[in-house]
Amino acid sequence: MAAWLGQMGSLSYRVFYWFLTLELIINYGAPCPQNCTCTLDTSDCSHLDITDVPQDLPKSTVHLNLSHNKLAAVDMDILSNLPNLKEVRLDHNELTSIPSFGDAAAIVVTLFLHHNKIRRLDGKLLQNFTALETLDLSNNDITELREHCFPPGLQIKDLHLSSNKIVHLEFGAFKNLAGSLQILKLNRNRLTHLPVKGLELPKLTQLELSRNKLRLIEGLTFQGLSSLEVLKLQRNNISKLTDGAFWGLARMRVLHLDYNSLHEVNSGSLYGLESLLQLYLSNNSISSFNPEGWGFCERLRELNLPYNNLTKLSEGGFAKLVNLISLRLGHNSISHITEGAFRGLSSLRTLELDHNDISGTIEDTNGAFTGLENLHKLNLGENAIRSIQPEAFSKMKNLRYLHIQSDSFLCDCQLHWFPEWLVTRGLKPGVQATCAHPESLKGTSVYQAPPQSFVCDDLPKPQITVHPVTTAAVLGKDVRLTCTAASSSSSPMTFTWLKDQETLRQAEVENFAHVRASDGGVMEYTTILHLRHVTFNHEGRYQCIISNHFGSSYSNKARVTVNVLPSFVKTPRDITIRTGTKARLECAAEGHPTPQVAWQKDGGTDFPAARERRMRVMPDDDVFFIMDVKPEDMGVYSCTAKNTAGMISANVTLTVLETPHLAQEMEDRNVVVGETVALQCKALGSPPPRITWLKGEEPLRPSDRHYFTPGNQLLVIGSTTLEDAGRYTCVMSNTLGTERAHCQLNVYQRFEDCAPFSSPSTVTVGIIVIAVVTSIVVTSLVWVCIIYQTRKKSEECSVNTDETIVPPDVPSYLSSQGTLSERQDACIRVESNGGSQPNGRIENNGYDEPVVCTDCLENGTSYSKHCNYLPHGIALPSGLEYQQAHQTSTFTSHSNEPHCNGTPNGVRKDNQTPIFPTNHDRVTISPSSHQYNDRKGLLVIRSDTPPSLEESYHRPVKLLSGDCDIGSELKQTPLPNGHAHMPDASSSESESFRRASD
């Protein structure tokens, strides 16, 4: 049964295969053409040298290979009969244009046309290839690419145009492929220029432009390639990358710039490459790079810089490449690696420094490889290393492979640590080190040399004994740097001077040798570097290297600085300015090092404008402003510029102009005939005002009675007369204008034969006042009687004097005169209830007893005022009412009859203000009579008619009534300037009148 089932299964399989073969023969026609090879979906007719497409191609063909023939054209009818055709290979034929595939063009996905003779691209022939994704046209004769070459509707993803003769790439030539193109190859053409922003291909991921003739990559050239990841520009003639050359390539991962003519890597050219992982810059002429540029590609993991012209690695040159894993710097001319050159490369695993000249670096310093804690592989091959400092590799804790190949090692006491260290760290396989000295070890590997043979018995290698000294030079002067070394070897000695780690090849050097006096077998070699007429270009760090066959010795680095004494480029100038405006002070200096500029005022740092926050300083400018200038800002401002070479200063005077004005108002003066008076006009202004005195409108000049202090601010009038009374004007003038101020001088006549009386002391006055107060409290009756008797019998006996007030700046010789320094006294017989006041008031003194005059008490014995004393320049009232009320007046003009303390002030009416402006509560007004009646019955007649100018002044008058009666009722009271007295109203009605002060 099982056998029968097996036979039936085998039979059914054969039947199925026969039916399938029959179906293929029926559906797909004839078998494979002659000399071609056919499989299920592939027809291969390549390498047959045929000139026509075979006629009998199977309809099942998907991949058709017609390459390496001599086809010059393609029969589209044959290809139209292939409904499943997807890929056509027509490379290495003799086609001169893109062939037409008929109906098959719409289904072909891949078309290879490379290595033909196609000269131009015809968009009409490509427009039917709507399904085409890969088109290879490399190795043809195409010379230009224009917009019409690729019509709309194409879906090409890979376009190969390498190895043509393209010299012109039109702006927007691939615009119609923007929605599909992903790979574009334009290698090995003749392009010399790329249109800026001319490649708008947002889906392109790979662009190859190698082996063209590009010289310059301009900024924004590749803008529009937002998805680009790989850009190949190697083997062009690019000598410069402008700033922003790769802007817009934010997704770029790989950039090939090797085999070009770049001389530097400027920072701006790398701007925008934040996703870059691999940068290839080998085989250029790069001698420097800007470390700041690496900050634009911080994700970089591989940096290739071999075969360039690098000579040194500066400190922190790769500090921003924190993610760098591989750094290749072989085949350069690196002779010095500054300590900290690899700082920041904590992720670095591979460092290649082969084929350089860094033997000196390893011999000279032990910090060259600082920062490489995680380094795995270090290649120092082919560097002719002679010696290594003991701590040169101590920082590389994870080092796994070290490659050193040198047969020049000096196997002395300084190298004894090296073999053992290599064995201990497992680094022996990569190090081939052979001794060149001493002679007994020459040609011996450091591993085979006995440890006790690493000694320093002699000095074959030069030893620096005198190092160059750091020097601060003055611009234009000469500088000498000296370096001395000792050696026991007769090997020829070479001397080299470095400036900032670069060899000085054209330096003026003086070399000589002599035998050391203490040891005849040792020679001392001295080299002197002459720097003539030093400039700023001479600044730097200098080092000497003295070498022979056994090695080199490196001196300490001496810094040379060039200083320049500061000099002003903006010298401050004197300023004259008005108050309230803005002052601008500027000062700038140059020098080396850059001088610091500072300001002083009057030799100090106290600026009134700074205290009041009126000073504005510009931090980045050489100017400061004083706002709202005031007189106290005036002074000498000093600008100082200082650096290490010295200090200079310049002074500028700020003059503040101010219009003349008074420091204090002028005051009226009252003086007795014969006394001395001082009139002060304290004027301020800038420039200081010139002061002129006028009396009336006439100028005053110095005389035997008129004196002027320096500056005319004080006018002193001695032995005053009545003619000196009047209006004095102080005229203050400067360049800004003229101002005037006025004061009034009143001169009073002195009374004669006024009997002196004694004045009690101030203590006595106090006692009397207390007694008066007590008497008021005890008995009001006595008080009333005293008032009544006082009104009936009292006579006023007074002298009005004006105490001359001497300003504080009056010279001492003036204040020594008695009339200026002594107070004047007055005696008056008054009522106990009050008296006339200088301003025309009636004020109660607060007591019912007479008031004692303290002024009189002070100098009672020296009182010498004349009884005829009356003021000069006091106006009497005029008018009908006054005349009627005084027909029986006791006043007579120009009377010679003496009277003690007659009316001192006369009467002066003022029609604008009341006679008693502050005591109107004591007065009742009679509208009909225009009289004032006080509470005691005193009648005062008011005149409504103001006196005329002629009537406002009169000559001195004296009283005719009464003699000078100084009796028991006589009391002393102070009589200030302008005091008025009033006769008793009860003694005579006709004599009743009221005196008011001027």
pLDDT digits (tens, 9 = 90+) for 895-912: 334 333 333 333 333 433
CA 760 – CA 860 distance, rounded (Å): 8
Most confident of 156-165, 598-607, 728-737, 854-863: 156-165
Q: Which domains does the chain have, with CATH numbers?
A: 29-185 (3.80.10.10), 463-561 (2.60.40.10), 571-653 (2.60.40.10), 663-748 (2.60.40.10), 780-804+814-959 (no CATH)
Residues 909 and 951 sit within 8 Å (Cβ to Cβ): no
Q: Helix (H, G, I), strand (E, B), or coil: what is residue 669?
A: strand
Helical packing angle, 780-793 and 762-778, nearest 10°: 120
Q: Supply 900's token pair.
A: 């003690």
Locate tokens 């006018």: which residue?
715
Most confident of 324-333, 647-656, 952-961, 986-995: 324-333
Pick from 128, 137, 127, 88: which is nearest to 110 by CA? 88
Residue 796 has pLDDT above 70, yes or no: no
As a whole number, mean pLDDT of residues 318-337 equals 93
Side-by-side strand order, sheet with 523-531:
463-466, 479-487, 523-531, 508-515
DSSP secondary structure letters along 630-656: -GGG-EEEEEEEEETTEEEEEEEEEEE
Beta bridge partners of 433: 406
CA 162 – CA 186 distance, rounded (Å): 5
**CA dist 25 to 21, 57, 60, 464, 802, Å?**
6, 13, 10, 97, 154
Pick from 113, 54, 112: which is nearest to 82 by CA? 54
CA 123 – CA 183 distance, rounded (Å): 20
CA 534 – CA 476 distance, rounded (Å): 5
Q: Supply 631's token pair.
A: 């007189």
Q: Where are the alpha helices (DSSP H) in 347-447?
A: 359-364, 417-425
CA 388 – CA 416 distance, rounded (Å): 10
Residues 778 and 702 sit within 8 Å (Cβ to Cβ): no
Residues 155 and 133 sit within 8 Å (Cβ to Cβ): yes
Residue-wise pLDDT for 700-739, tens only, equals 888 888 888 888 888 899 888 888 899 999 999 988 889 9
> For 45, what's the count of Cα atoms within 13 Å in the CB-facing half-sphere?
24
Residues 263, 269, 275, 276, Cα dihedral to 10° = -10
Residues 61 and 52 sit within 8 Å (Cβ to Cβ): no
Residue-wise pLDDT for 132-155, tens only, equals 999 999 999 999 999 899 999 999
Q: Supply 466's token pair.
A: 């005198």
Those residues with Cβ within 8 angstroms of residue 14's Cβ, 6 or more apart along the chain or in another chain = none
Is pTM beyond 0.75 here? no
As a whole number, mean pLDDT of residues 210-228 equals 93
Residue-wise pLDDT for 819-852, tens only, equals 333 333 333 333 333 333 333 333 333 334 333 3
Residue-wise pLDDT for 951-987, tens only, equals 333 334 333 333 333 333 333 333 333 333 443 433 3
For residue 963, what pLDDT is reported?
39
> For 213, what's the count of Cα atoms within 13 Å in the CB-facing half-sphere?
10
Name the residue type at position 229. E
CA 386 – CA 408 distance, rounded (Å): 5
DSSP state of 583: E
Residue-wise pLDDT for 306-325, tens only, equals 999 999 888 889 999 999 99
Residues 415 and 441 sit within 8 Å (Cβ to Cβ): no
Name the pLDDT band for 778 (thresholds 50, 70, 90): low
Locate tokens 């940096």: which residue?
303
Mean pLDDT, the chain, rounded, equals 76
For residue 784, what pLDDT is reported?
66
55 exposure class (CB count in 10 Å sphere: 0-12, 13-18, 19+): exposed
